Structure 1
């Protein structure tokens, strides 16, 4: 784009400098054939110095103004503008007017270079304007991230979309500068190559669609703990952008997942657990099945002395005695009919223990149940929730519960099954 009007005073001053340097070179004895080239290099150096100083002054001035405005208004937009180098990019835009007016004068003896140099300057300003706008957009995004409503939104995805849009506009502008044609020709060429463009940007397009769905459905947020076995991810989401989601695993490794995989594949999001304030315990202890038996009246009398079991034993004894009497079952027979087993009491005790444990949530599911018998014993499963989601505290609570239950089986004459090691076998043989 040729400058329509060149400032007369600027041109006069520039011509004066050019003629002065040319006269100076003649005075110092530079050969006539080299005067033009040397003069061009000197004027270019002077112009570069002016541009450098102008850029530094504007950068310092804008930075100073932004700092003052931040101090006065307390608006973080000015702090983020400095962080994202907005003053720097503004300072790179300002010298454009000087450069575009200086080119015809600098290359007065090389007129064939004026057109290409102006085009280079125009392309330069296109990039500078895009970078300036993006610095402003990043600053606004940083400010929005401070708001609760935007804190967990995939802001980087939105920024990348905006960046792509501006780069497209920049490409159109550069096409027009280089060819002299309007933007219509550019879009016509892009239409013909649309299949290639779609192939090149398929991941970006899918990522963009996925980002919108993730955001609108609130599927994943930055900071969520997710598990995705297909990609080996088990940790906190650190970043969501157009093409990928970055997860920092608990072993401090980084897993990168394609954004669109979060809507096409299944994964586990632990946010609900964290927001509920309770984390589930679902673990079993395996009881030796041959140890399970009916308890005698004498044994029940002893257990009834333990207050937590007393009410359960009274109710069950009354119920079973009535049933046995109704069905004419003798309690002394081989098959005792209805009766209380040591496993019944053990499970009742576990329930009481969990309900009275201050580390367990009583407002959530609390269940003690038998799982299907297996070759290695009868699993008794504990299904409950702790009152914390902190990993270390959760593990400590779970360990404390099972340590207690492992020791609590002995009064019930039950045995917890475990794999016999060679050391155990040797100990048994030595005792024999």
Structure 2
């Protein structure tokens, strides 16, 4: 006696119904109905009965079993369980129950038994693929709850598994439809490898790129990357098999092929983010006509500035000793050594930055001259803020240059800019004032 095969609940119902099919047919014949009509009515009643059983089984599965499972998961606060429930793994799995019932009752319809079983089998396979797909998504969600997911994402690998399983599932469905063994179709895959290489080219390239990106730790979720070729400049929010999703700072989304991060160059700002400092690299352009040697009056004024007192005292002593030692004739300004307003200004900027609360003092700090150009003499500030947040960084940088723009005239220096309409208007007004009244009237 095959208990597992013959005494399942569905088999018992099937047997009871099969034993009573003849009784129903005989009962319908009492109404003196046509034999063919009785046959069709019996089949129709059987279909209604199967539909009723499927509806009841589906109701019990979804409204009772799944609710009990969900209640247990919620009550015990299983994080992984909650994720599986949210991905509707059990709900999709419940769709298999009606298909199994239809498969078991297929023998009732002798003529269409094979087609019904074939259709039910295909439905079960497709449902299984959906369940497997949701289960892999749940696994990825569970993995992302751990910090290692940002360093070693597995979404790309799971997508590869999805492709493989779905491919095999489709092969089994085709084999069922063609009444052939799946092994025969699998043996033909070798001949179709070139076609598969073409179809899954992006996926294969993405897989290779994903492995290299992960092993070399080139990019992580949360990294700020910049790829000018693709117009991407923002934070990485997702790394999948084929694409890297970047949310730009204007909140737009750019999809970059994974293999592009291997084949093309890109900038990753992670080093800046982890260093604790963000670089400030900007220049002031000084009008070279305003650069001069410091006069006694200027030195006296500079000596009263807090950030320059020690520097002026030390530098004056050093220059005086040098000039006396080398018997320099200071009646001519160019002889010997002397302070310049641009040199004092650079020292002021350096000391100002060293005492600024927004500058990281443990990182590089320079104030340097660049090569002069048609726009004047660039004085470049090279330093790092101690806060990498964009808004705070811009505020620190803005405060520094606000101050320097305002303080430059105190050193007798003029900042260079191309003439504006206001400058030309002022120049014309001054020229007109120097022309005698009679000549202006003429």
- What TM-score do you get using the length of structure 1 for normalisation? 0.91
Measured against aligned partners, the alpha-carbon deviations of 1:166-207 in whole angstroms (never above 9, x if no partner) come to 113313432443344444322221100111110110100000
Measured against aligned partners, the alpha-carbon deviations of 1:185-232 in whole angstroms (never above 9, x if no partner) come to 222211001111101101000001111111222211122211110000
CA distance in 2, matches of 1:88, 1:360: 56
Q: 2:214 is matched with which residue?
A: 215
Unaligned segments of structure 1, at least 5 residues: none
Measured against aligned partners, the alpha-carbon deviations of 1:139-190 in whole angstroms (never above 9, x if no partner) come to 2221221111124543431221121121133134324433444443222211
CA distance in 2, matches of 1:167, 1:256: 24
CA distance in 2, matches of 1:369, 1:357: 18
Measured against aligned partners, the alpha-carbon deviations of 1:374-425 in whole angstroms (never above 9, x if no partner) come to 1110011111111212211211111111110000101100000112112321
Mean Cα deviation higher: 281-290 or 184-193: 184-193
CA distance in 2, matches of 1:319, 1:374: 32
Query: What is the aligned counterpart of 1:46 among 42, 49, 58?
Result: 49
1:105-120 alignment, distance < 5 Å? 105=108, 107-108=109-110, 111=111, 113-120=112-119
Unaligned segments of structure 2, at least 5 residues: 434-442
Is 1:95 matched up with 2:63?
no
Measured against aligned partners, the alpha-carbon deviations of 1:5-33 in whole angstroms (never above 9, x if no partner) come to 56563332232564466567656787554
Instruction: Report if the CA contact (8 A) 1:282-1:381 is conserved.
Output: yes
Is 1:15 matched up with 2:18?
yes
1:18-417 alignment, distance < 5 Å? 18-19=21-22, 22=25, 32-105=35-108, 107-108=109-110, 111=111, 113-151=112-150, 153-417=152-416
Instruction: Report if the CA contact (8 A) 1:157-1:241 is conserved.
Output: yes
Instruction: Report if the CA contact (8 A) 2:74-2:82 is conserved.
Output: no
Aligned to 2:149, the other structure's residue is in SS state: coil
**Deviation at 1:99?**
1.9
Aligned to 2:387, the other structure's residue is in SS state: coil
Aligned to 2:58, the other structure's residue is in SS state: helix
Change (3 A) 1:131 1:353: same
Name the Cα RMSD after superposition. 2.4
- What TM-score do you get using the length of structure 2 for normalisation? 0.89
CA distance in 2, matches of 1:40, 1:298: 115
**Deviation at 1:80?**
1.0
CA distance in 1, matches of 2:358, 2:168: 59
Count of paired positions: 425
**Deviation at 1:302?**
2.6
